[in-house]
Amino acid sequence: MIDVEDLIALVKNYNPRCNSELIRRAYAYGAAMHEGQMRKSGEPYFTHPVAVAAILTEQQLDDATIITALLHDTIEDTKSTYAEVAKLFGEEVAELVDGVTKLTNLQLSNTESQQAENFRKLFMAMSKDLRVILVKLADRLHNMRTIKSMKPEKQAQKARETMEIYAPLAGRMGMQWMREELEDLSFRVLNPEARNSIIRRFLTLQRESGDVVHQITADIRTVLEKVQIDADVYGRAKKPYSIWRKMQEKDLAFSRLSDIYGFRVICASVADCYRILGVIHQRWRAVPGRFKDYLSQPKSNGYRSIHTTVSGRDGKRVEVQIRTREMHEVAEAGVAAHWSYREGVRAKNPFAVDPAKWIASMTERLDEGDHDEFLENVKLEMYSDQVFCFTPKGDVVQLPRGATPLDYAYSIHTRIGNSCVSAKIDGIRVPLWTRLKNGQSVEIITAEGQRPQASWIDIVTTGRAKAAIRKSLREEDRGRFVRLGQELARAAFEHVGKKATDKALRTAAKMLGMPDEVELLAALGAAELTARKVVETLYPELIQHGPDEVESARAVIGMPDDQTFRRAPCCQPLPGERIVGITYRGQGVLIHAIDCPALEEFEEQPNRWVDLQWHAGRHAPVNTVALDVAISNDAGVLGRVCTLIGEQKANISDLRFTERKPDFYRLIIDVDLRDVEHLHMVMTALEAETDVAQVSRHRDMTRKP
């Protein structure tokens, strides 16, 4: 473990005016708080915060960030409190430590809905002070470097979380070195055979062709010396995961893979950058389509560089990055460059991006009302590369790679996107799904009365465009949802012998905390509320099973009276079907249909099987079954489908669209049924409807108990 004086020396290397006494006190306080705590490896726990602090000194960060690293686990894992940290080290440090603690408690690899909400919290914490995420990234980097002491299943979970969230986030912040190391450490856990295979190929290549990096570096230095340009040249082989990803994306064998080596030329000025580019292109043949100028069009995280790929020694392709020293500092530190110190003062790097503006660009115009959309948009932003296009007036529009003219239209203005009917690229009319390329000029053609189509969701790439299209579709669909809600309410009320009058719906809306009956009907039609819930709110006594029905809690024969059971969500067995039970300790019995594929995993555990059968008699209509239905995309069809289901005395408990095409919709309808005969009646009624193209029972084998 690094002792306190060595840590202070690391800080003083770039900040001689640092508050060494405060760092000393934080070190002593952290060591005392973690006294007696051990890591999985058997080392004292405090070795971890010290290592995190040391990683942050490499980025030349301020005293508050270094002290936060030393204390980042104290509030969560020790008797320390926010108030105590604030009293001893100031409010700034306490806020940062508290922010890191909250990030640590976010389970980012949770279910989709929870993950979306946690992503929102992650960005809220980042927007408050971006240094929180810098500490968290350093924390994750050290944990990944020492992950071997964890159990294999825990290693895999942490590696997946790192690969999906923390590595892309580091890259999006411009900290490419950290992204590469996090990816490679995760790759080592998730696919060690592939990683070892790449390394073995590298060793073989080196034996066959010698030290290519040293040879090409020397070649570049020689041509620059001839034209008297002062520059530093560095070369390296790319990381195993970077090579593996390229092999997967391009479906290439290692032997056919090009540009597995990367070189950087770092010089004094922008003018030298372009001179060096000319010299390199004169000496080696440039590879067409592999040139990017991030000097004139920098990335949103402040990254500036010229990228070119050339055919170098023996025809090997190599990528060369050319940048100034100040640009290189930002390329290494990314957004963190905003806080870096040099010689005791905050470094005034003109290329360092403003963290507040960067966060704003990440979260701009995200639809606050839909967590799944937020998650989708954030991931799109984090993983995106960029293309640069021109407006007819010559202005530059920056978009993620894979963007289409529709993305371009929405980036100009939502109104332009909504009314877009076609586009021209370099003067030639193209389909709206065309993928844009660097340097193209784009012109959008609009028409009054045009509205976004549901199929546009699959065409666009940017989060902003997806959110705008969904918002427009929701507004356009509102009237249809209200009409559908009326049909659902009518069928549900008739099912219990009542009428869905305006007064009844108004009363239900008030009891459910909604402003009026129109909002209630819209929520019903959009499947945000079930008709059963509305009826139950007004007439709870009518929802209960009748005196001649089998009691739901005793619907199955073959178990002790005190044992509980649940229907398996994968096969959703119904009374009338052959069933078998699987016991779960402390959770009762899970009932499967006898032909459910999920039973295969229990073949070697016969002691968990229970022979069961349904109780004879009339069962309550409380057994939910999912139906996969394809219907024509015409006015009134969905309403008729819901009416047909209601006429069979079946309640729709949920409804969700899986496909929206110009000519048909595909949806999953959850229907509450009595038994398998009831299911047959509902499906027969739907199959007889002209505008219903297909009906089948939907079984989702991915759903776990």
Tell me the HSE value of 596 on the side-chain side, using a 13 A CA sphere: 31
Q: Return the closest-CA partner of residue 140 out of 77, 40, 214, 55.
A: 55
pTM, rounded to two decimals: 0.55
With 0-12 / 13-18 / 19 or more C-beta atoms within 10 angstroms meaning exposed / middle / buried, residue 230 is exposed
Catalytic residue among 43, 58, 76, 84: 76
Instruction: Give the CATH number of domain 4-189.
Output: 1.10.3210.10
* CB 630 within 8 Å of CB 664: yes
Series of mean pLDDT values for 10-residue runs along the chain (705 residues): 90 88 94 90 91 91 91 88 92 88 64 54 66 89 91 88 82 82 91 84 73 86 92 87 73 58 90 93 85 83 86 75 90 70 60 65 50 53 64 79 90 91 89 84 88 84 84 76 82 83 90 88 77 83 59 78 83 90 82 87 84 83 91 84 86 86 85 88 82 87 70
Which two tokens mark 446? 């609009």
* CB 588 within 8 Å of CB 564: yes
Could you give the C-alpha distances from 620 to 5, 649, 651, 672, in angstroms and in order?
74, 11, 12, 9
pLDDT of residue 368: 47
**Rounded CA separation 627/462 (Å):** 32
Catalytic residue among 77, 628, 654, 689: 77
Could you give the C-alpha distances from 470 to 278, 352, 651, in angstroms and in order?
47, 35, 28
pLDDT of residue 230: 92
According to CATH, where is 1.10.3210.10 located in the chain? 4-189
Backbone angles phi, psi at 453, to 5 degrees: -100, 150
The residue whose two tokens read 């050339």 is: 310
Active-site annotation holds for 561: no
3-state secondary structure 118-149: HHHHHHHHHHHCCHHHHHHHHHHHHHHHCHHH
pLDDT of residue 252: 56
CATH architecture of 194-346: 2-Layer Sandwich (3.30)
According to CATH, where is 3.30.70.260 located in the chain? 548-705
SS3 309: strand
Active-site annotation holds for 548: no
**Rounded CA separation 629/627 (Å):** 6
Instruction: Give the CATH number of domain 548-705.
Output: 3.30.70.260
According to CATH, where is 3.30.460.10 located in the chain? 194-346
